[in-house]
């Protein structure tokens, strides 16, 4: 194993220390495992809080800032944050208008966020939640009951975050977050496994001549394995799965996301094939992202996330955002 780390047991704490040093607009409590906006809490503003296991950077802490999340609580690598982390994050950013928890559909995340919401309610904090379950690859997996939450989490955080920044009440921000989740679908493909530092070896074996179709962001098995093929063919497999679950039509927000170890040049090769596929179905890529946003440590591979846009969603996507890993218009 070759990793740019000090010690396998301190990776998350060391990374949070670096995040704090690099981004003075954030506040970071390394010991508590909480990242939040320096201007929080803001009186009268609905706050957005999300979190999950580390190893998916920049999700979630990289999306804390203006127009997106107010706080994030990163757990240990591929491990859900504990309820105390979620409570601490929620309390740090509660401005009196309520807090929206954005939860990826993994059993540990769901359980710990639900318990944290109950504890916050006892303290008089109004908490609502939205569950993101956009992965069409499998119905159940090692970490979930139902579909997994993956790339659409970013879409929910950005669009609902823009609405909250504009002063919308908790009920409206929650409705919008749910709408984005319902209109989004994802599918991922792995070319290699990832290596968790504490394990010191790849999570699973994948021969050089094969790929894993429908991989999860923790290295969970997908639908099947298949021979390594061209970017065009692999993009078509992913898009067939997405289109088969939510037919492509109208204006779309499309993200081609790297899993952590795939060069950007290859992601653009994949995006060209995705755009051609969508155009061939009579739909249009109206907004797009290409890069590493929801990763799986050093895994080579990519995922595709598609959201059906309308005028309101497009305006909220275009609204200014300023975070370490997503920024425009400000």
CA-CA-CA-CA dihedral for 158, 163, 167, 168, to nearest 10:
-130
CA 222 – CA 146 distance, rounded (Å): 14
Q: Which residues pair with 327 in a beta bridge?
A: 322
The Cα angle at residue 32 between residues 26 and 37, in degrees rounded to 5: 20
Catalytic residue among 23, 60, 101, 218: 218
Catalytic residue among 23, 56, 101, 243: 56
Task: Please name the residues in contact with 261: beta carbons below 8 A apart, sequence gap of 6 or more.
Answer: 192, 194, 297, 298, 299, 300, 301
**Beta strand 184-190 with 26-29: parallel, antiparallel or unpaired?**
unpaired
Taking only Cα atoms into account, the Rg of the chain, rounded to an integer number of angstroms, comes to 19
Task: Please name the residues in contact with 311: beta carbons below 8 A apart, sequence gap of 6 or more.
Answer: none
CA 147 – CA 154 distance, rounded (Å): 16
* Burial class (CB within 10 angstroms; exposed 0-12, middle 13-18, buried 19+) of 186: buried
CB 304 within 8 A of CB 254: yes
Task: Please name the residues in contact with 87: beta carbons below 8 A apart, sequence gap of 6 or more.
Answer: 116, 119, 120
**Beta strand 184-190 with 210-213: parallel, antiparallel or unpaired?**
antiparallel
Alpha helix (H) residue ranges in the chain: 11-22, 83-93, 107-122, 152-165, 170-182, 231-245, 264-280, 311-318
Task: Please name the residues in contact with 258: beta carbons below 8 A apart, sequence gap of 6 or more.
Answer: 264, 267, 291, 292, 293, 295, 301, 302
218 is an active site residue:
yes
101 is an active site residue:
no
Q: Helix, strand, or coil here: 76?
A: strand
> Which residues participate in catalysis according to the annotation?
56, 218
């Amino acid at each position: 194993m070759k990793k740019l780390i000090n010690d396998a047991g301190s990776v998350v704490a060391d990374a949070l220390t670096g995040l704090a040093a690099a981004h003075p607009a954030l506040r970071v409590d390394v010991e508590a495992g909480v990242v939040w906006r320096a201007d929080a809490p803001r009186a009268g503003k609905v706050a957005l809080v999300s979190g999950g296991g580390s190893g998916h950077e920049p999700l979630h802490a990289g999306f804390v800032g203006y127009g997106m999340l107010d706080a994030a609580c990163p757990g240990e690598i591929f491990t859900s944050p504990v309820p105390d982390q979620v409570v601490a994050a929620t309390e740090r950013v509660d401005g009196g208008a309520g807090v929206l928890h954005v939860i990826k559909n993994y059993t540990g995340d769901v359980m710990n966020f639900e318990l944290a919401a109950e504890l916050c309610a006892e303290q008089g904090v109004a908490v609502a939640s939205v569950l993101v379950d956009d992965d069409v690859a499998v119905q159940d997996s090692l970490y979930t009951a139902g579909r997994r939450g993956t790339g659409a989490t970013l879409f929910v955080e950005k669009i609902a975050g823009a609405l909250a920044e504009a002063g919308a009440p908790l009920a409206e921000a929650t409705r919008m977050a749910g709408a984005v989740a319902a209109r989004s679908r994802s599918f991922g493909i792995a070319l290699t496994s990832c290596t968790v530092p504490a394990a010191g070896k790849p999570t699973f074996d994948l021969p050089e001549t094969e790929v894993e179709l429908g991989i999860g962001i923790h290295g969970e098995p997908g639908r099947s394995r298949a021979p390594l093929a061209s970017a065009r063919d692999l993009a078509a497999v992913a898009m067939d799965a997405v289109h088969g679950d939510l037919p492509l039509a109208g204006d779309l927000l499309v993200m081609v996301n790297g899993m952590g170890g795939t060069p950007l040049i290859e992601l653009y090769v994949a995006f060209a094939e995705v755009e051609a596929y969508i155009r061939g179905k009579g739909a249009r890529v109206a907004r797009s992202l290409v890069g590493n946003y929801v990763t799986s440590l050093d895994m080579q591979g990519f995922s595709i996330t598609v959201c059906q846009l309308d005028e309101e969603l497009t305006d909220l996507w275009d609204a200014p955002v300023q975070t370490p890993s997503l920024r425009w218009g400000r």
